[in-house]
Amino acid sequence: MNILRLAPLAAVALVACHAAPQEAPPLAGARISGPFTLVDQDGRTVSDRDFAGKYRIMYFGYTFCPDVCPTDAAAIGKAVAELDGSDADLARRIVPIFVTVDPERDTPKVLKSFTAAFHPRMVGLTGTPAQIAAVSKAYGVYAGKGETQPGGGYLVNHSRTTYLMDLDGKPLALLPTEQGPHAVAAEIKRWAK
């Protein structure tokens, strides 16, 4: 058999053996996250270590938010529900976490009612103002109390960011909650293995 006829076949075989390098997650190496100790929606003290071995969806908002936070929480909850149906193994390894930026009003009881409306596994976290300020800073989240509204209420101005964290709590990617649950689920599938 002519060796020159085999050369193209050997080249194809070699190319097939070498997979293309995997794309790095967009937030790989970013200094986002850190240790925290907060209180969950059931009144239990939890830390970042309680979520080790799980992919975390980290969202910072508040339950009295009139529009953005409920919309984003709904997108997160529906995305996890979509994964429950399409990739149950992956879905079991995901914990959606809603961290309040309004600890004065967002008690565990308030958070429990709020998170239950979006997904049964969604965890709500609160703490002292100092604890919330520390975890917000670690995640690069801005939050500040707005002006008092008629009737005594107030809004909280805050950044709108949803992080997907890896099994060790390191950042992988931003999740596009503004694009809806399908986009969120697709981005989770892209980076969570």
What residues form the annotated binding site for Cu cation? 65, 69, 158
Backbone angles phi, psi at 161, to 5 degrees: -135, 135
Residue 125 β-bridge partners: 40, 99
Alpha helix (H) residue ranges in 21-150: 68-86, 88-92, 108-116, 129-138
Q: Are 167 and 155 in contact (CB under 8 A)?
A: no
d(CA 33, CA 164): 11
Q: Read off the amino acid at residue 11.
A: A
